[in-house]
């Protein structure tokens, strides 16, 4: 399948950012892991990362008619962005939500996810492996 993998704000800081929560591996390692997992599962994958909500809305809109599925870690926008939720609803592309950490076991404000309202599945707390599980969902 043709899949778009979207990573939201501050995920480009992996390795530096709160390693006790997000791990010591950097963002380039995550991208390499996603690419090799996708290849093994026979998916064609396009990777996108942005720190900007509007850019994430734009890439979701541009996925319409192009991609069969979306894997998204909206990062902090998970908990705030009606715009990303609306964009996912607008394009109607099957979406799986991923979080490296277990958002249900952290601060109260992380327990609510707008994207969960549209996601077919939410995978959290599995680190990098969560992305592989999301790709497996589409396999």
Residues that bind ligand DQA (CB under 6 A): 10, 73, 75-76, 78, 99-101, 103, 110
Task: Respond yes or no: is residue 22 known to be catalytic.
Answer: yes
Q: Is 52 a catalytic residue?
A: no
Q: What residue has token string 């399948």?
A: 1
Nearer to ligand DQA, 23 or 136 (CB): 23
- Closer of 16 and 66 to ligand DQA (Cβ): 16
Which residue matches tokens 């909206």? Answer: 74
Q: Which of 43, 77, 99, 114 is catalytic?
A: 99
Name which of 66 and 102 has its Cβ closer to ligand DQA. Answer: 102
Q: Is 134 helix (H, G, I), strand (E, B) or coil?
A: helix
Distance CA 49, CA 4 (A): 11
Q: What is the dihedral of CA 76, 78, 82, 87, to 10 degrees?
A: 110
Active-site annotation, residues: 22, 99
């Amino acid at each position: 399948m043709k899949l778009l993998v979207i990573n939201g704000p501050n995920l480009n800081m992996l390795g530096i950012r709160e390693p006790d929560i997000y791990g010591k591996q950097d963002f380039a390692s995550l991208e390499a892991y996603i690419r090799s997992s996708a290849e093994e599962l026979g998916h064609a994958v396009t990777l996108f990362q942005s720190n900007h909500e509007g850019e994430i809305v734009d890439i979701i809109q541009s996925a319409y008619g192009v991609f069969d599925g979306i894997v998204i870690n909206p990062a902090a926008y998970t908990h705030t962005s009606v715009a990303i939720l609306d964009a996912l609803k607008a394009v109607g592309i099957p979406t799986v939500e991923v979080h490296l950490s277990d958002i249900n076991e952290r601060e109260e404000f992380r327990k609510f996810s707008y994207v969960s309202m549209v996601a077919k599945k939410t995978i959290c707390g599995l680190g990098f492996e969560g992305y592989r599980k999301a790709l497996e969902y589409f396999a």
